[in-house]
Amino acid sequence: ELKAIADSRNALVGLVFQRDSLPMWSLEFWDPMSAAEIQAQLVDHEKREQLLLSEYWDDNRSGVVTYLVLSALLGVALIASRDRVHKKLAGDDLAPIRAIFDRPISLAMLISFFVALFTIPEIGRVLAPVLGAASLIPAVLILRQIVDRPLFPLLNLVVGVYFIHQLREIISPLLGLYRLTFTAETLILLLVCGWWLRPSRLRDIPREMARSWLFRCVGYALRSVFFLSAVGLAANLVGYGALANLIGSTLIWSTYAAVVLYGASRVPPLVLLGMVSRHRWLIRKRTAFAVHALAWYLWATATLRRAELLDNAEESVTAFFSRSLPIPEVEITFGDILAAALTFYAAMLLSRFIRFLLAEDIYPHLRLAKGRPYAISTLLHYILMSIGFVLATIAIGFDMNRFTLLAGAFGVGIGFGLQTIVNNFLSGIILLTERPVEVGDTIALGEIFGEVKSIGIRSSTVRTWQGAEVIVPNADLIAQQVTNWTKSDRRRRIEIPVGVAYGSDPRLVLETLLEVGKGGDHILAEPEPYVLFQGFGDSSLDFELRAWTDEFDSFLQIRSQLCTQIAAALEAANLVIPFPQRDLHIHTGKELAQASTQDEVPLAPAVAPTDDTNDRDRSAGARSG
């Protein structure tokens, strides 16, 4: 039965290229109809519409009432939230969005229209004129808030032509009046499009506006409307009424759908979410692409359906994707490949979105250890991509027996030449689950010292303090000894050795260094700084200041500041930092002769270490000389 209906429909569509009425210049066409006939036709049309509405109301009363109540509540909510939206969406880049919310009732009507299309059965077929006006007018009012003023006449034209078209549908039983109305409609479209596309007007358009994608789309659309209107007008004049009606209806509904869908695509419900405020441009770009793609698909579908070409287009597309690839002993169609690619791509997009949502709105509200969010996101990515690969394999129609054979061959390949790759992959899984090293940790591995930037499926990236990024196999981080400076926390002990001259008061040195340590910037009070008297060096009394900081990334700068403060404090306390010095003790000939009689003749002058600040040693050396 369905095939018979489809064949009958295609046969009727094929009749559009046959003349079915008189030319408009023939005298018979202008034979007037009586007032009684016109009134009878209109009364009959009104009765049919009332009967249809009454039957629909009886069958869907609760759904329509619910729809009207929810639409009213949505309008009230948008009116109440208008001021708050204006405060939240501050900034010049969000001015168009604020302008949209200046029309809360239009916005509510437009949103409720699309909700009704998917929730109330057959509402589009029964209440098409009412819903059309209830969606077109709000869409035009919203677009007037955001498009350039030169486009306003085109929006007004769409509204006017739409109501002329509805009037033409009402008087469709009156063939002569119907064709005259259609002629007036197409003439208006031709005149407006020609006036808009005239060269003198195009030269007056600002260059910035002329280069925008919206203006270029409008230009292409107006040229198409001009051409189709001319064809429809010619067909109507000659007597091809069915062809003229098909072209006119398709043209009007296509333009109407384009305006409504574009107006709906400008409604930004996601812009009010918290995560969008931190990645506004990225979200708006991705959302705009998805919404525009959906709008283009709906527009093309509506246009083809109105032109009675949707079934043929679907059959052509189905036939193409059902075609098998020319591969021997393998039955794979283009549709299978497309399904597999879309499945895997959907899994990848889902993984990206979930990780983005976790990072922006989930992890900040949870108290997780450092590195655990990255591990969770990475493992979740591996799981989703594995599921996507399996589903893509199923979608492409791959034989599971062959898949098992392939898995066995893959296992043999691992045994022969892929041990290192598998070892690194499993090591990466261990790093993400056991977490001995996490993203953000500062590690030392041999001569490599730097921060872990990422842990991948095969290797990890370590950025050294010199700026180089070193690719380290995951197996090395598991098998070798790794020093993790920031495993538990990011605190670092700063050690500064200090030497003062012999003769200095050790207690004064301890107090001076401790005072500097306690007063240093970014120095922790717990554990508190302390100073050690390390011992007696060759040229100085050796001390060491030890202090803790939680600014691991800046500990070198903090150490430098402490050294500067120590030098200033020692100078203020008259404490001298010595430098290494050697004094030579030269023996006389008499002393050498005495030493030779004792068989203790030195082969070189004796050297005794002393300090430049020790005046007694220097005076003793001078006297011995």
64-113 tens-digit pLDDT: 788 788 888 888 888 887 777 667 666 655 666 667 777 788 878 877 77
Predicted local confidence at residue 529, as pLDDT: 92
Q: Which of 268-282, 306-320, 529-543 is most confident?
A: 529-543
Q: Is the pLDDT reported for residue 465 higher than 80? A: yes
- 205 or 558, greater pLDDT: 558
Whether residue 359 has pLDDT greater than 60: yes
Distance CA 281, CA 209 (A): 21
pLDDT band at 615 (very low <50, low <70, confident <90, very high): very low
Q: pLDDT class for 614, splitting at 50, 70, 90?
A: very low
Measured CA to CA in angstroms, residue 261 lies from 165, 265, 314 at distances of 19, 6, 22
Does pLDDT of 480 surpass 80? yes
Answer with the residue of higher pLDDT: 392 or 27. Answer: 392
pLDDT in tens, 451-460: 898 888 788 8
**Which residue has tokens 């011995």?**
624
Q: How many whole angstroms separate alpha carbon 259 and alpha carbon 268? A: 16
Instruction: Give which of 419, 422, 431, 418 is closest to 462, Cα–Cα.
Output: 431
Cα separation, 510 vs 544, in Å, equals 9
pLDDT at 316 over 50: yes
* Confidence bin at 589 (pLDDT 50/70/90): low
Over range 354-373, report the average pLDDT. Answer: 76
Q: Is residue 391 over pLDDT 60? A: yes
Distance CA 357, CA 365 (A): 12
Q: State the pLDDT at residue 548.
A: 92
* Higher-pLDDT residue of 286, 197: 197
- In terms of Cβ atoms closer than 10 Å to its own Cβ (0-12, 13-18, 19+), residue 356 is middle
pTM of the model: 0.45
SS3 labels along 429-489: HHHHHHCCCCCCCEEEECCEEEEEEEECCCEEEEEECCCCEEEEEHHHHHHCCCEECCCCC
